[in-house]
Amino acid sequence: RKEVEQDPGPFNVPEGATVAFNCTYSNSASQSFFWYRQDCRKEPKLLMSVYSSGNEDGRFTAQLNRASQYISLLIRDSKLSDSATYLCVVNLRDTGRRALTFGSGTRLQVQP
Amino acid sequence: DVKVTQSSRYLVKRTGEKVFLECVQDMDHENMFWYRQDPGLGLRLIYFSYDVKMKEKGDIPEGYSVSREKKERFSLILESASTNQTSMYLCASFPGGANVLTFGAGSRLTVL
């Protein structure tokens, strides 16, 4: 079983739709969680951290479910510019060493 | 903002050549990483370094070596490039704790 798993997609949604991605992690000792966005042929960039109580940044909402060991990303009112691959990242422990594990990414395609 | 600079964006090399990929960060971070990213496989950790002259193998170190002589610079070396090392190589820097990982723009290597 992979340490961090994501549905690769693609998720094809119309503009204005609401879309949600999940990411499951296998290690219950995981401590911090992030969503990164990666545009085609570019480097991943931080989209948002995921806090225990859930957090929102504009149209984006991130949630953490420790009991079921998954994080989620909800995008409301999808824009064409949201088309990208979304990577979840899990930090097993806060040492900064080889603790960051990436999912393979979920591809989102927003269509006009 | 943290800046991570990869000096070579695109390289084309021949099988058997020695290849150097350079990465420099400007924020005095202890931790630096080299990943490769391939379609369908996501980001895979090659090597990381948590201090000058310190290095640890990641998940796929075979065929690679690294050098960290100065804190700001982390080099990835392909001693004898092979076609299966054709990939996108991403360097990243990380201060530790719950802070985020910052990537360079990537180096796309083609080995003929």
Say yes or no for a CB contact (<8 Å) between B43 and A102: yes
B23-69 pLDDT per residue, tens: 999 988 888 999 999 987 888 999 999 899 999 998 899 999 999 99
Say yes or no for a CB contact (<8 Å) between A44 and B43: yes
Sorted by sequence, the CB contacts under 8 Å of residue A34 that are 6+ apart come out as A46, A47, A48, A49, A50, A88, A89, A91, B100, B101
pLDDT of A79 higher than 70: yes
For position B98, what pLDDT does the model report? 60
**B99: which chain A residues are within 8 Å (Cβ-Cβ)?**
96
Q: Identify from A25, A34, A36, A43 which residue to disrupt to test chain B contact, counting B C-beta atoms within 10 A and taking the largest count.
A: A43
For position B12, what pLDDT does the model report? 97
B71-98 pLDDT per residue, tens: 999 999 999 999 999 999 999 998 766 6
Q: Is-contact A104 A8, C-beta < 8 A?
A: yes
pLDDT of A96 higher than 80: no
Higher per-residue confidence, B39 vs A87 = A87
The distance of A106 to chain B (nearest Cα, Å) reads 10
The distance of B73 to chain A (nearest Cα, Å) reads 17
If you average pLDDT over residues A30-45, what whole number do you get? 91
If you average pLDDT over residues A76-98, what whole number do you get? 83
How many A/B residue pairs have CB atoms within 8 Å? Answer: 59
For position B37, what pLDDT does the model report? 94
Q: Is-contact A11 A106, C-beta < 8 A?
A: yes
Residue of A nearest to B33 (CA): A98
Say yes or no for a CB contact (<8 Å) between A104 and B105: no
Q: pLDDT band at residue A93, thresholds of 50, 70 and 90?
A: low
For position A67, what pLDDT does the model report? 93
Q: Does A91 touch chain B (CB under 8 A)?
A: yes
Strands B42-51 and B54-57: antiparallel
pLDDT of A99 higher than 80: no
